[in-house]
Amino acid sequence: MKKKPIILGIETSCDETAASIIQENDDGSIKILSNTISSQFDIHKEFGGVVPELAARSHAEKIDLITKKAVLESGLKINNIDAIAATAGPGLVVCLSVGLNFGKAVAASLKKPFIAVNHLEGHALSPKLNSKLDYPYLLLLISGGHSQFLSVEKFGKYKRLGTTIDDALGEAFDKTAKLIGIDLPGGPKIEKYAKFGNPNKFNLPKPIINRGGCNLSFAGLKTAVLKISKTIRTKKEKFDLAASFQKTIEEILYIKTKIAIKEFKKLNKYGNRFVVAGGVAANERIRKVLIDLCYEENFKSIFPPLNLCGDNAAMIAMVGLEKFKLKQFNDLDHPVKPRWPLDKQAAFLKGAGVQL
């Protein structure tokens, strides 16, 4: 039987330095041979957010070691790899450049094909790493930098149905955490705090909930959290604010996903799959609310495993594998693409003056 392709993925678009080796099994499922990742929480903690130059320096220091570790853990020789896939965008230019250049150098030295990967496409395909995933599907991508509903028609074909007009959902979690006095990573800690609080204590706004289709907005919510955060003193009140924020997000996502499902069905009459991906997809309460909604709508809900929701290189290798099978290789002068939307036709919908 013909040997199945083995792909090395490299990811450095933000604050995780990651390398992974995957191989397709004979039945089409995926074997993750290694998945190494180094987070930079400690580096950026005191600044309350990612500092691009510090992040890039840390990527440059670690990428070689992380990749060697991935090769070692896979039990393979580096020469067994059939192609190198690296994230080319979107993300922080200084960070992307490190992984992209490293990936190109490995490809050149091994004389193997190089594949430039869109980080968002990595998230979009991440559920494929542990389950079968057929097209078309409705995708809710919720991460630190993006929040969008997309209709995924087939590999490489995306139609955006809705997007955030201001903050990304992960960003809203992180900012709320900061206002409550919780350090990075904010999202998972808000989720923990919320378990001890009263979700009905504070009444928070749900921006554009009755207009704008399945577009999203979180900036007004952040302003409301800011105001309340100035008045709270006790740990109990912090738990209550976290719980109220978590509940408001669940309600927003429930309502907006219901609208997105309707719009998706206009494009795909028999479509019935809903994928949630990106760092925020690790939030168990959000998962539960969306699973329940899918049950009501007769949709199948699909999530990546918890450890592959956040940034990782296995999802980059996954896109690399799909592109390898289609022989979609890139030249070694492929540029960094800090802005690289999945749906190139979709209008830019951010900032003041956006009319919905």
281 closest CA partner among 81, 123, 96: 123
Contact between 311 and Zn ion by CB under 5 A: the answer reads: yes
280 binds, among ligand KG4, Zn ion, none (CB under 5 to 8 A by kind): ligand KG4
Find the shortest distance in angstroms from Cβ 267 to ligand KG4. Answer: 26
Contact between 143 and Zn ion by CB under 5 A: the answer reads: yes
- Name which of 35 and 244 has its Cβ closer to Zn ion: 35
186 binds, among Zn ion, ligand KG4, none (CB under 5 to 8 A by kind): ligand KG4
List of residues contacting ligand KG4 (CB under 6 A):
14, 143-145, 170, 173-174, 185-188, 191, 278-280, 282-283, 310-311
Distance between CA atoms of 271 and 150, rounded to whole angstroms? 13
Site residues for Zn ion, 152-181, by CB under 5 A, read none
- Name which of 213 and 305 has its Cβ closer to ligand KG4: 305
Find the shortest distance in angstroms from Cβ 77 to ligand KG4. Answer: 31
- Name which of 226 and 306 has its Cβ closer to ligand KG4: 306
Distance between CA atoms of 21 and 82, rounded to whole angstroms? 10
Distance between CA atoms of 259 and 238, rounded to whole angstroms? 32
Distance between CA atoms of 2 and 24, rounded to whole angstroms? 12
CA separation (Å) from 150 to 35, 163, 264, 276? 27, 9, 8, 11
341 binds, among ligand KG4, Zn ion, none (CB under 5 to 8 A by kind): none
23 HSE (CA, 13 A, CB side): 16
Find the shortest distance in angstroms from Cβ 345 to ligand KG4. Answer: 22
Find the shortest distance in angstroms from Cβ 141 to ligand KG4. Answer: 9
CA separation (Å) from 211 to 193, 214, 216, 301? 31, 8, 10, 25
212 binds, among ligand KG4, Zn ion, none (CB under 5 to 8 A by kind): none
Find the shortest distance in angstroms from Cβ 144 to Zn ion. Answer: 7
> What are the φ/ψ torsions at residue 77 (nearest 5 degrees)?
-95, 150
Find the shortest distance in angstroms from Cβ 265 to ligand KG4. Answer: 27
Q: Contact 54/43 with Cβ under 8 angstroms?
A: yes
Both tokens assigned to 165: 């007009």
**Contact footprint for Zn ion (CB under 5 A):** 143, 311
